[in-house]
Amino acid sequence: MENLKEIVRGTTARLSHACEGKLFYQIQTKKHLYQLEINSMDKDWTATYLFPEFKSITLMRWIRKGKESEDGSFIQLN
């Protein structure tokens, strides 16, 4: 897995699908494809618009949380 800086630099997070209040974004880097799961019911998102695409750096906080917690909310797909 690449470091956080490599994942967010110049990449786009694209909405893949939604299920049970969770949104799944995919981030393609030069080396790997990653998936980020965001629970849209969390209080962090109550005043946030969820778009089909974000600059990955915008979601850096959640990417970092997913990498550090290793709870499956941020995974490498290939």
Dump pLDDT digits (tens) for 31-77.
999 999 999 888 877 777 889 999 999 999 999 999 999 899 999 99
Among all chains, which residue has been given the structure tokens 């880097």?
Answer: 29
pTM of the model: 0.91
Domain count, the chain: 1
Residue 56 DSSP label:
G
* Gap between the Cα atoms of 21 and 55, Å rounded: 21
Domain residues for the domain of 11 are 4-76
